[in-house]
Chain A
Amino acid sequence: MDRRGFLKVSLGTGLAAAAVAGCGGSGGGPSGGGGDVTLRYAWWGNNIRQQNYTKALKQFSTANPAITIEPEFADYTAFQERMTTQIAARDVPDIFWIASPQVMTYHKSKLYRKLDDIPTLKWDDYSKEDLETFKLDGQLNTLPFGIFTPVIRYNETVAKADGVTVPVEGPGWTWDSLAELLVAYSKNNPGKRKGTPYAPDHDLTFEAWLRQRGEQLWTQDGQVGFTADGLGSWLDWWEKLRKAGGALSLSEQEGMGPDWAQVGKKVLVNFGNSNHIIDDAKMFPKEKFRLRAAPIAAGAPAGHKYLYFPRMAIYQRIDDGNLEAAGKVLDYNVNNAEMLKTVRLTMGAPTNPKVAEQAAAFASPDEKEMLAVVAKERAAERKPRYEAPPGSSTWRTTMARICEEIALGKTAVPAGAQKLVDEIGAGIKRAA
């Protein structure tokens, strides 16, 4: 072959390859002939959750051969980054979980398709009150698929061995009594454990603290719902606890947001979400963990209790031909206990009350512990809570930084609290 011939063949091959590539593409639209549908499903978590959900989605496809699901999994942080770039490229998965800081940001960007007109997604099992709490700005456009509550998780095995009794919920279960317990335990226990990791940046317990003082995390109109004083009181509680030796130092826990596998052997209790017990307890299989609802401040107003919902949604621009199939997938996620047998309850208690009852039958002891705590909170009177507004997505990172500065003595509590309120407010203002 001469050079001209080679060039012609090369160009021809290249153009043909480009043309074929252009015809390809995956996911999205109906795949033609036979009514088969391919849906992209995006979620986050650890390796175990990836495996469990992949398996459950395959089981769904086996039961519904006309629906193929392409899983898109990532670690929590990477998931958010990927979603953002996918949104910018208008290449959003058909069904996706929503990271808590982005719920209202995506809502503002009109990413969610409304869910109350999809015939394959049933709402019959939910009360009117439930449905109201699910809505964003009055629209039922996201699907809460789990419930978390703020809890104190303690190591019952160690507590028994060390002769410690964690008070039961009731009049004696206050933040002060908890602090006293943690400090006293840290000073005198054979394993030289501390009471708790240093965790003032834990969002759910912070929100519980605020609501017990008549404040809230976010307002209905998308502003910061707490004052510098409210935040300061929380940071002060932690600072006193840390200085009294009731919490691990940053050095002992290797920074903010410590790895539970590392610090679990160094503490008696942990501040966390109710669902965390399921994965965290497995790291210490010889020990038994129990949950207590967050302590209650004296004079806490009625309705301070709250539930946090992780949400999922269907992309606004989903192909109409795929919508019913997507509704079926969502229905499988929330209204079918069979899926939970595979994925377990790592994403919290089921939002569907009937499924929650069914789940109790096959739940593990840790899952039963979580279900019991959530059921109690769910039955309590609750004032509305609002999702994080656009522009506030980094508030937890900022809070962790301020807490770190306070613990290192670089910032005083009042100055740190004011700085955090100002920084979050500035972010919200920029995004407005």
Chain B
Amino acid sequence: MTSRSRFYLNRQGRAAHVFLIPWQLGFLLITAVPLLASLYLAFTNYDILNPPEWTGLENFQRMIHDDQFWASVRVTLIYVLVSVPLQLAFALLLALILDRGLSGLAFYRSAFYLPSLLGSSVAIAILWREIFGDEGLINKGLALIGVHGESWLQNPRTALATLIVLNVWTFGSPMVIFLAGLRQIPDELYEAARVDGAGVWRQFTHVTVPLLTPIIFFNLILQTIGAFQTFTQAHIISGGTGGPANSTLFYTLYVYQQGFVAFDMGYASALAWVLMVAIAVVTALHFLVSKYWVFYGDS
């Protein structure tokens, strides 16, 4: 490399660094520093109002005997294990229907995406009460056949299910990604399959699914991480309590309660770090297992 081109590259590099400064500052001040600060706070007793006091592993030991912590772990795991597969299956189904060349595709795509935009809004709390409440649509429907239903939101056996339904209903984002993936599968493969006598189901299982596995994997990772971090829906619908009887006490809601209601920021930081490690472990497991089921065209 000549000194002239090295000089040119250096100038280019310097300019790039200058333009990157805002992002670097943002990353440092808004992400990295708070992240490290929370790691420190996880080992302290910190009520925000007074300086933190070093307590070592006390916050982590406290979790072991904390019933609320275990309740939140249980709720979150059930939610992740049930809602993510359901949502992905529903999104894939809708994407397959939309991929069949319907007229007005843009309208349907937007219409199906709309719930994703509403998913974390106060409007949803009202809508869900109108549907699942004591005098909601479902109970009114049941009353027509002589069944007296109670509020689905206030029954610990059904409250979480209503939030799972809400998550499945907000399938817009994975659906759009699935749709883009389906568009990438060459028609020739389907033609070849049909020539070989494959029906619709075999085309789906032997052509669509294998070629869509990278997209499924991508959606699975995103939605799993998102499900672990679910907060707003539970906060709005339970009024921030995680009730009834802890049945919607999501992990992040519990972190919020500890940090911003009890002002126990040290414990909240420890909880947050446990969640981060848990998500990292689950994501790593996903990647480890992916080599057995994800098919990349170039592999």
On A, residues with C-beta under 8 Å from B are: 3, 7, 11, 77, 81, 84-85, 87-88, 105-106, 108-109, 111, 249-252, 254-257, 390, 393-394, 397, 400-401, 404-405, 408, 410, 427, 430-431
Task: Judge whether A77 and B48 touch: CB under 8 Å.
Answer: no
- Bound complex: CA of A394 vs CA of B262, how far in Å? 6
- Bound complex: CA of A127 vs CA of B93, how far in Å? 74
Checking B48, B245, B261, B263 against A397 with a beta-carbon cut-off of 8 angstroms, the contacting residue is B261
- Bound complex: CA of A85 vs CA of B246, how far in Å? 27
Task: Judge whether B50 and A427 touch: CB under 8 Å.
Answer: no
Considering only residues 122-162 of chain B, those with a C-beta below 8 Å from chain A are 129, 133-134, 150-151, 153-156
Checking B45, B129, B155, B241 against A251 with a beta-carbon cut-off of 8 angstroms, the contacting residue is B155
In the bound complex, residues from chain A placing their C-beta under 8 Å from that of B246 are 401
In the bound complex, residues from chain B placing their C-beta under 8 Å from that of A105 are 47, 49, 263
Task: Judge whether A257 and B239 touch: CB under 8 Å.
Answer: yes
Task: Judge whether B49 and A106 touch: CB under 8 Å.
Answer: yes
Q: 0/1 per residue, B148-183, Cβ < 8 Å to A?
A: 001101111000000000000000000000000000
Checking A3, A84, A404 against B263 with a beta-carbon cut-off of 8 angstroms, the contacting residue is A84
In the bound complex, residues from chain A placing their C-beta under 8 Å from that of B133 are 254
Least distance between B134 CB and chain A CB atoms (Å): 5
- Bound complex: CA of A252 vs CA of B244, how far in Å? 13
Q: Say yes or no: A87-B48 contact (C-beta < 8 A), given A251-B155, A430-B264.
A: yes
- Bound complex: CA of A105 vs CA of B260, how far in Å? 14
Task: Judge whether A400 and B47 touch: CB under 8 Å.
Answer: no
Asked if B115 lies at the interface with its beta carbon under 8 angstroms from chain A, I say no
Query: What are 23 of the A-B contact pairs (CB < 8 Å)?
Result: A7-B15, A105-B47, A105-B263, A109-B50, A250-B244, A252-B134, A254-B134, A254-B154, A255-B238, A256-B243, A257-B239, A390-B47, A393-B261, A393-B262, A394-B261, A397-B241, A400-B241, A400-B243, A401-B243, A404-B243, A404-B244, A427-B262, A430-B45
- Bound complex: CA of A85 vs CA of B34, how far in Å? 14
On B, residues with C-beta under 8 Å from A are: 15, 18, 45, 47-50, 129, 133-134, 150-151, 153-156, 238-241, 243-246, 257, 260-264
> Which chain A residue has the least Cβ–Cβ distance from B133?
A254
Q: Say yes or no: A251-B151 contact (C-beta < 8 A), given A404-B244, A410-B245.
A: yes
In the bound complex, residues from chain A placing their C-beta under 8 Å from that of B156 are 408, 410
- Bound complex: CA of A199 vs CA of B154, how far in Å? 15
- Bound complex: CA of A400 vs CA of B245, how far in Å? 10
In the bound complex, residues from chain B placing their C-beta under 8 Å from that of A108 are 49
Task: Judge whether B134 and A431 touch: CB under 8 Å.
Answer: no
Least distance between A379 CB and chain B CB atoms (Å): 37
Least distance between B116 CB and chain A CB atoms (Å): 25
Of A77, A85, A408, the most chain B CB neighbours within 10 A belong to: A408
- Bound complex: CA of A85 vs CA of B48, how far in Å? 8
Additional A-B contact list (19), CB under 8 Å, known A255-B244, A256-B241, A397-B257: A7-B15, A11-B18, A84-B263, A88-B48, A106-B49, A250-B244, A251-B134, A252-B151, A254-B129, A254-B153, A255-B151, A390-B47, A393-B261, A401-B243, A404-B243, A410-B156, A410-B245, A430-B264, A431-B47
> Which chain A residue has the least Cβ–Cβ distance from B14?
A7
In the bound complex, residues from chain A placing their C-beta under 8 Å from that of B262 are 393-394, 427
Q: Say yes or no: A87-B49 contact (C-beta < 8 A), given A254-B134, A427-B262.
A: yes
Checking A77, A251, A390, A393 against B154 with a beta-carbon cut-off of 8 angstroms, the contacting residue is A251
Of A7, A81, A252, A401, the most chain B CB neighbours within 10 A belong to: A401
Nearest first, the 3 closest Cβ-Cβ pairs linking A and B are A251-B150, A251-B151, A109-B49
Least distance between B29 CB and chain A CB atoms (Å): 14
In the bound complex, residues from chain B placing their C-beta under 8 Å from that of A431 are 47
In the bound complex, residues from chain B placing their C-beta under 8 Å from that of A397 are 241, 257, 261
Least distance between A431 CB and chain B CB atoms (Å): 7
Of B47, B156, B238, B246, the most chain A CB neighbours within 10 A belong to: B47
Least distance between B15 CB and chain A CB atoms (Å): 7
Least distance between B118 CB and chain A CB atoms (Å): 21
- Bound complex: CA of A7 vs CA of B150, how far in Å? 66
Q: Say yes or no: A7-B243 contact (C-beta < 8 A), given A88-B48, A430-B45.
A: no
In the bound complex, residues from chain A placing their C-beta under 8 Å from that of B257 are 394, 397
- Bound complex: CA of A431 vs CA of B49, how far in Å? 11
- Bound complex: CA of A394 vs CA of B257, how far in Å? 9
Least distance between A298 CB and chain B CB atoms (Å): 34
Task: Judge whether B48 and A401 touch: CB under 8 Å.
Answer: no
In the bound complex, residues from chain A placing their C-beta under 8 Å from that of B263 are 84, 105, 393
> Which chain B residue has the least Cβ–Cβ distance from A400?
B241
Least distance between A85 CB and chain B CB atoms (Å): 8
In the bound complex, residues from chain B placing their C-beta under 8 Å from that of A400 are 241, 243
In the bound complex, residues from chain B placing their C-beta under 8 Å from that of A77 are 240, 261
In the bound complex, residues from chain A placing their C-beta under 8 Å from that of B238 are 255
Least distance between B26 CB and chain A CB atoms (Å): 14
- Bound complex: CA of A55 vs CA of B89, how far in Å? 54
- Bound complex: CA of A390 vs CA of B45, how far in Å? 14
- Bound complex: CA of A87 vs CA of B49, how far in Å? 6
Task: Judge whether B48 and A84 touch: CB under 8 Å.
Answer: yes
Q: Say yes or no: A255-B154 contact (C-beta < 8 A), given A77-B240, A394-B262, A401-B243.
A: yes
Least distance between B24 CB and chain A CB atoms (Å): 14
Least distance between B247 CB and chain A CB atoms (Å): 9
- Bound complex: CA of A105 vs CA of B238, how far in Å? 27
Least distance between A266 CB and chain B CB atoms (Å): 10
- Bound complex: CA of A93 vs CA of B154, how far in Å? 39
In the bound complex, residues from chain B placing their C-beta under 8 Å from that of A401 are 241, 243, 245-246
> Which chain A residue has the least Cβ–Cβ distance from B256?
A81
> Which chain B residue has the least Cβ–Cβ distance from A405?
B245
> Which chain B residue has the least Cβ–Cβ distance from A408?
B245
- Bound complex: CA of A108 vs CA of B134, how far in Å? 44
In the bound complex, residues from chain B placing their C-beta under 8 Å from that of A410 are 156, 245
Task: Judge whether A7 and B245 touch: CB under 8 Å.
Answer: no
In the bound complex, residues from chain A placing their C-beta under 8 Å from that of B129 are 254
Task: Judge whether B49 and A88 touch: CB under 8 Å.
Answer: yes
Least distance between B74 CB and chain A CB atoms (Å): 14
Of B48, B49, B129, B264, the most chain A CB neighbours within 10 A belong to: B49
Task: Judge whether B154 and A250 touch: CB under 8 Å.
Answer: yes
